[in-house]
Structure 1
Amino acid sequence: MIALAIPALDEPYFAEIAGLIVEAADRRGWTVLIDQTGGDRSGQKPVTSGSHSHRIDGSITSPLALTGEGIADLAQQRPVVLLSEDSAHVSADRVAVDSVRAAHEATLHLIELGRQRIAFIGAQAPGGAGTVRLSGYRSALIEAGRRPDQALIVRASPLRRAEGAAAMARLLTVKEPPDAVFCANDLLALGTIRTLLSSGLRVPEDVAVAGFDDIEDARFTSPSLTTVSPDKREIAEVSVDLLCRRIREGADGPPVNVVAGHRLQVRESTVGVAVTSGPPGEAGPAQSR
């Protein structure tokens, strides 16, 4: 039996990852105990000290609120694999996309489209995915010779639709509103698009929008959403493979850091409507960087 600890089962990205991990574990005859942590430290406890703790052989966890010390303690109890974009988490095996690079690419896409005032929605406390992706956003602007405008960087926590909608409403009140927005995840982007359309603005003609995660809704919303698409299947398969190795061979050896693949999926929310040849919401053949 292995434990899978994720922040929220109703977040599409984590639900998709969980399903793929269950599939990979099932092929090995493993049972997966899923814990919903809520993204706080107390929610991690069932994985480490719950009623099934003595039966758990290893765990895969998204350690949003665990410190380096907490992760080290968890790794000492049993084999653990982290689904973490925070490079500070070095005390256990880790699988993640290079979110800094991916966010850089998404922002660069908006720059190459000629957008002048590119906002970021989803800044968070240190260690959160939003903070990691903000770093990539900043680096792309600096590379293009632009100075990041703090007025165009909006915090959002949690990274949900409502927070994206509210953040976009705040951006529309600044003296010079943005003509493009990069959101730390797709849920924020969906909320952002809702506010823009409700305000009588066009996407992407007036404001281009890009997200991160490539959840299923990104393909079927209107306009379909340009987004960073992590290789979720690779993340799931590698996580289970690493955990399997640790369970069989023990905890000896240095932690392994695996960077999963990603691509930028370009759709209608940044380039407009194209001739469609795929499922609803797909802006023609998928483009990628």
Structure 2
Amino acid sequence: MAQDRRSPQPRLTDVAEIAGVSMKTVSNVINGNVRVAESTRERVLAAVQTVGYRPNLSARNLARGRSGVIALVVPRLEMPYFAALAGRVIDHAEARGWFVLIHETGWDRAAERAALEAQFPQRIDGLIVSAQQLQLSDLQERTATTPLVLLGERTFGDAAHHVAIDNAAAAQLAVEHLIAQGRRRIAMVGSSENIGDDPRMRGYLQALEAAGLAADPELMLPIRENSGEEGELVVRTLLESQVEPPDGIFAATDWVALGVMRALHLHGVHVPDEVALVGFDDIPYARAVTPSLTTIAPDRSALAELALRMLEAQINATGGLADPVDETVPFELVVRESTTQIGGAGTS
């Protein structure tokens, strides 16, 4: 009687038999331990699909002294950027057989510090942390040895592995686009008093300077939190003041930009005819609003993959951990209706 290739619990021996290779070769292909000829690898993977074999990740991780779980630490998962980022991290982690535990810190420094020390109910093999409030001293005082990769605008020198986009260059590109549209009084919503710690603010100022435009302090609008409500509040206050209104606005995030757009609409200011608006992050809502939002789009897939690759290298290190590295991934300016009339539509 012919063997049922789709038995309820396919085994490694079933894969080896169909592929015509040894069990050791199958193990090498599945675990990626050694280089295997491409034709052999393809044959083994095809056999894996044929029999429906799924490796016992729990047993594999137990044998390696690992949990197979990593933690992704973000401020709030309800924020569209972090939700989209989490999706990409999960996708790329699953390809490695890792489970992702998502933890929220609520923008709280103490919570971020606790995450650095891997204070979770279960054991984790590595940490990816979107640092919002951490200070360099927090990293220098860290006692946990759990592999760590930081995300976000801020860098910490050689204190930890870090991956992000070049936020200053991205912000500069956004403002240069506004200038290219003929805008000269350009506000920044989400500015910071400490330029050194705010690469997006730095990029905004660099673009103005390169174009010979004076930076107007009355158009640099700080916000208390990254939210649409805060973006709406500061722009409404600006429009109701005696300050000459801007003809262009760069918002530090898309979420803030949506609040800015609401304030402009409620005051009868047309986008982009009277005020052109650029956001940052390319959240899904940026494509759905009217007018659709011009924005900076980070390559979230590349960001997730590089962060996981950094983490993987630390987890698999046998000769001591390599020195921390700071790397960037690509971004692009996505031009939509909030800065230019596309197809004759798009005013609010």
Taking structure 1 as the reference length, the TM-score comes to 0.90
The correspondence for 2:328, drawn from 259, 270, 282, is 259
The correspondence for 2:103, drawn from 32, 35, 46, is 35
CA apart distance, 1:72:
3.4
Q: Does 1:139 align with 2:206?
A: yes
Q: Secondary structure at the match of 2:339?
A: helix
1:79–1:49 Cα change, 3 Å: closer
- Describe how 1:86-97 pairs up with structure 2 within 5 A: 86-97=154-165
CA apart distance, 1:3:
1.1
Residue aligning to 1:286 = none
Matched residues in 1 for 2:281 and 2:242: separation?
28
Letter in 1 for 2:334: Q
201-210 or 42-51, larger mean C-alpha shift: 42-51
Preserved CA contact (<8 Å) 2:85 2:300: yes
CA apart distance, 1:247:
0.5
CA apart distance, 1:28:
1.2
1:88–1:147 Cα change, 3 Å: farther
Give aligned pairs, total. 275
Structure 2, gaps ≥5 residues long: 1-68
Letter in 2 for 1:162: E
1:274–1:209 Cα change, 3 Å: same
Matched residues in 2 for 1:181 and 1:247: separation?
44
Of structures 1 and 2, the one scoring higher in RCO (CA 8 A, sep 6+) is 1
Structure 1, gaps ≥5 residues long: 282-289
Q: Does 1:197 align with 2:251?
A: no
Q: Secondary structure at the match of 1:5?
A: strand
Preserved CA contact (<8 Å) 2:232 2:260: yes
Preserved CA contact (<8 Å) 2:73 2:130: yes
CA apart distance, 1:87:
3.1
Preserved CA contact (<8 Å) 1:64 1:128: no
259-268 or 30-39, larger mean C-alpha shift: 30-39
1:13–1:4 Cα change, 3 Å: same
1:150–1:171 Cα change, 3 Å: same
- Describe how 1:99-248 pairs up with structure 2 within 5 A: 99-124=167-192, 126=194, 131-172=198-239, 173-248=241-316
Q: Secondary structure at the match of 1:2?
A: strand
Q: Does 1:273 align with 2:273?
A: no
Residue aligning to 1:50 = 119
CA apart distance, 1:252:
2.1
Identity %: 39
Letter in 2 for 1:254: D
